[in-house]
Amino acid sequence: MTLESKRKYNFILVTILLFLSYPLLRSIEWHGSTHLHTFMEIIATLLALFVGILSFIHYHTNKSNQLFLLIAVGFFGTAFLDGYHAIVTSLFFAEYFPSIPSSLIPWSWIASRLFLSIFLFWSYIHFRYMHSTTINERHLYTFASLSTLTTFLFFAFVPLSNAYNTEFIFHRMAEWVPGLFFSLALCGYLVKGNWKKDIFEYWLTLSLIVSVISQIVFMSSSEVLFDIEFDAAHLLKKISYILVLIGLLKSIYKLVLYGVIQRAELIKQTYKLKRYQRIAGLGSYLLNFKTGIWTSSEILDELFGIDQSYNHSTEGWTLIVHPDDRIKMDDYLKNEVLAKGKPFDKEYRIVRQTDQSIRWLHGLGKLEFDNDGLPVKMVGTVQDITEQKRASDSLLKLSLAVEQSPNSIVITDLDGKIEYVNNMFIKVTGYSRDEVLGQNPRILKSGKTPQTTFKEMWAHLTRGDIWHGEIINRRKDKSIYIESATITPVKQADGKITNYVAIKEDITEKKKAEAYTENLAYFDQLTGLPNRRMLQAQVKYRLNMAQSNHQPLTVMFLDLDNFKNINDSLGHTVGDQVLIKIAKRIKKAIREVDTVSRLGGDEFIMLFPNTDANAAMHIATTLIQEISKASVVEHNELTITPSIGIAIYPNDGNDFKTLLKNAETAMYRVKNDSRNGFHFVTPEMQLSASRNLQLENALRHALKRNELQLYYQPQISTSNGQIIGAEALLRWHHPELGMISPAEFIPIAESSGQIIEIGEWVLRTAIRQTKNWMDDGFTPMIIAVNLSVVQFRQKNLLTLITDILAEVQLPNEYLELELTEAVTMHDPESVINVMNTFHEQGIRMSIDDFGTGYSSLSYLKKFKVYKLKIDQSFIRDISNDPDDRAIVSAIIDMASNLGLQTIAEGVETAEQLAFLRLHGCHEVQGYYFSKPLPSVEFEQFRHNHDLTSPPLNQQADFEGDY
CATH for the stretch 694-947 = 3.20.20.450
Q: Are strands 497-506 and 408-412 parallel, antiparallel or unpaired?
A: antiparallel
> Measured between alpha carbons, how far is 504 from 418 in angstroms, rounded to an integer?
14
> Measured between alpha carbons, how far is 895 from 861 in angstroms, rounded to an integer?
10
> Measured between alpha carbons, how far is 893 from 514 in angstroms, rounded to an integer?
66
Q: How confident is the model at residue 129 (pLDDT cuts 50, 70, 90)?
A: low
Q: How confident is the model at residue 691 (pLDDT cuts 50, 70, 90)?
A: confident
Q: Give the SS3 label for residue 409.
A: strand
Helices 683-699 + 742-752 axis angle, to 10: 80
Domain 281-390 bears CATH identifier 3.40.50.970: no
Q: How confident is the model at residue 960 (pLDDT cuts 50, 70, 90)?
A: very low
Q: How confident is the model at residue 948 (pLDDT cuts 50, 70, 90)?
A: low
Identical fold between 281-390 and 405-512: yes
Which of 89-93, 129-133, 548-552, 655-659 is least confident?
Answer: 89-93
Q: Where are the alpha helices (DSSP H) in 368-432?
A: 386-403, 423-429
Q: Are strands 553-560 and 603-609 parallel, antiparallel or unpaired?
A: antiparallel
Taking every pair of Cα atoms in the chain, the longest distance, rounded to a whole number of angstroms, is: 161
Q: Are 763 and 810 in contact (CB under 8 A)?
A: no
CATH for the stretch 405-512 = 3.30.450.20
Q: How confident is the model at residue 31 (pLDDT cuts 50, 70, 90)?
A: very low
Average pLDDT over residues 710-716: 94
Average pLDDT over residues 775-787: 91
29 has pLDDT over 50:
no
194 has pLDDT over 80:
no
> Measured between alpha carbons, how far is 408 from 307 in angstroms, rounded to an integer?
54
Q: Are strands 723-734 and 738-740 parallel, antiparallel or unpaired?
A: antiparallel
Q: How confident is the model at residue 72 (pLDDT cuts 50, 70, 90)?
A: confident
Residues of 468-496 as b/e, b for ≥16 C-beta within 10 angstroms? eeebbbbeeeeeebbbbbebbbeeeeeee
Q: Are 846 and 784 in contact (CB under 8 A)?
A: yes
Closest CA to 575 of 642, 640, 643: 640
Element containing residue 65 per DSSP (H, E): none
**Where is pLDDT greater, at 506 or 947?**
506
Label each residue of 926-945 as H, E or C. CCCCCCCEEHHHHHHHHHHH
* DSSP classification of residue 32: S
- What's the pLDDT tens digit per position in 234-291? 777 778 888 888 877 877 777 777 766 777 776 777 677 677 667 777 888 999 988 8
Element containing residue 775 per DSSP (H, E): helix 755-775
Q: How confident is the model at residue 95 (pLDDT cuts 50, 70, 90)?
A: low
- The whole-number pLDDT of residue 569 equals 85
Cβ count near 440 (within 10 Å): 13
Q: The pTM is what?
A: 0.41
Q: Are 159 and 106 in contact (CB under 8 A)?
A: no
Angle at 160 between CA 157 and CA 166, to 5 degrees: 140
Closest CA to 742 of 768, 700, 708, 791: 708
CA-only gyration radius of the chain, Å: 56
Which of 53-67, 362-376, 428-442 is least confident?
Answer: 53-67
How far is the first Cα of the chain from the last one, in angstroms, to the nearest whole number?
A: 82
One-letter amino acid at 290 equals K
Q: Give the SS3 label for residue 158.
A: coil
Q: How confident is the model at residue 746 (pLDDT cuts 50, 70, 90)?
A: confident
CA distances in angstroms from 87 to 34, 97, 229, 499, 516, listed in the order given: 12, 11, 21, 82, 119
Q: Give the SS3 label for residue 315.
A: helix
Element containing residue 878 per DSSP (H, E): none
Angle at 785 between CA 886 and CA 903, to 5 degrees: 20
148 has pLDDT over 80:
no
152 has pLDDT over 80:
no
- The whole-number pLDDT of residue 439 equals 92
Using CA of residue 8, residue 11, residue 15, residue 18, what is the dihedral sign?
Answer: positive
Q: How confident is the model at residue 958 (pLDDT cuts 50, 70, 90)?
A: very low
301 has pLDDT over 70:
yes
Q: How confident is the model at residue 957 (pLDDT cuts 50, 70, 90)?
A: very low
Angle at 227 between CA 226 and CA 229, to 5 degrees: 65
Q: Are strands 901-905 and 867-870 parallel, antiparallel or unpaired?
A: parallel
> Measured between alpha carbons, how far is 586 from 235 in angstroms, rounded to an integer?
118
Q: Please name every residue paired with 351 in a beta bridge, in sequence order, or none if there are none.
A: 358
Which of 218-227, 369-378, 861-870 is least confident?
Answer: 218-227
Using CA of residue 10, residue 11, residue 15, residue 18, what is the dihedral sign?
Answer: positive
Closest CA to 782 of 715, 847, 737, 838: 715
On the CB side of 537, how many CA atoms lie within 13 Å of its CA? 7
**Where is pLDDT greater, at 197 or 957?**
197
Q: Return contacts of 839-845, CB within 8 angstroms, 24+ apart.
A: 839/864, 841/798, 841/802, 841/812, 842/811, 842/812, 842/813, 843/801, 843/802, 843/805, 843/812, 843/813, 843/815, 843/816, 843/817, 844/782, 844/813, 844/815, 844/816, 844/817, 845/816, 845/817, 845/819
Angle at 496 between CA 401 and CA 436, to 5 degrees: 50
- The whole-number pLDDT of residue 688 equals 65
823 has pLDDT over 60:
yes
> Measured between alpha carbons, how far is 869 from 1 in angstroms, rounded to an integer?
80
- What's the pLDDT tens digit per position in 618-652? 899 899 999 988 888 888 888 889 999 999 999 88
- The whole-number pLDDT of residue 35 equals 58
Q: How confident is the model at residue 30 (pLDDT cuts 50, 70, 90)?
A: very low
- The whole-number pLDDT of residue 937 equals 92
Closest CA to 815 of 789, 777, 776, 845: 845
959 has pLDDT over 50:
no
Average pLDDT over residues 482-488: 92
Sheet holding 497-506, edge to edge: 418-421, 408-412, 497-506, 480-491, 467-474
Average pLDDT over residues 942-952: 68
Q: Which residues contact 147 (CB under 8 A, 6 or more apart)?
A: 77, 115, 118
Q: How confident is the model at residue 173 (pLDDT cuts 50, 70, 90)?
A: low
Q: Which residues contact 432 (CB under 8 A, 6 or more apart)?
A: 426
Average pLDDT over residues 717-724: 91
**Where is pLDDT greater, at 546 or 152?**
546
456 has pLDDT over 60:
yes
> Measured between alpha carbons, how far is 119 from 211 in angstroms, rounded to an integer?
13
Query: In angstroms, how far is CA 522 from the centroid of its own chain?
Result: 46
Q: How confident is the model at residue 738 (pLDDT cuts 50, 70, 90)?
A: confident
- The whole-number pLDDT of residue 164 equals 45
> Measured between alpha carbons, how far is 936 from 908 in angstroms, rounded to an integer?
23
Domain 526-681 bears CATH identifier 3.30.70.270: yes
- The whole-number pLDDT of residue 954 equals 44
Label each residue of 411-423 as H, E or C. EECCCCCEEEECH
Q: Where are the alpha helices (DSSP H) in 841-928?
A: 857-860, 872-875, 882-897, 910-918
- What's the pLDDT tens digit per position in 306-332? 988 888 888 888 899 999 999 999 999
162 has pLDDT over 70:
no
CA distances in angstroms from 316 to 295, 311, 359, 380, listed in the order given: 12, 5, 17, 17
Q: Are 844 and 866 in contact (CB under 8 A)?
A: yes
Q: Are 869 and 850 in contact (CB under 8 A)?
A: yes
Q: How confident is the model at residue 211 (pLDDT cuts 50, 70, 90)?
A: confident
Q: How confident is the model at residue 857 (pLDDT cuts 50, 70, 90)?
A: low
Q: pLDDT exceeding 70 applies to what percent of the chain? A: 83
- The whole-number pLDDT of residue 28 equals 44
- The whole-number pLDDT of residue 281 equals 74
43 has pLDDT over 90:
no
Q: How confident is the model at residue 363 (pLDDT cuts 50, 70, 90)?
A: very high
602 has pLDDT over 80:
yes
Query: Please, what is the average pLDDT of the chain?
Result: 81
Q: Which residues contact 699 (CB under 8 A, 6 or more apart)?
A: 732, 745, 748, 749, 752, 754, 758
> Measured between alpha carbons, how far is 175 from 220 in angstroms, rounded to an integer?
10
Per-domain residue ranges of the chain = 3-23+31-160+171-247, 281-390, 405-512, 526-681, 694-947
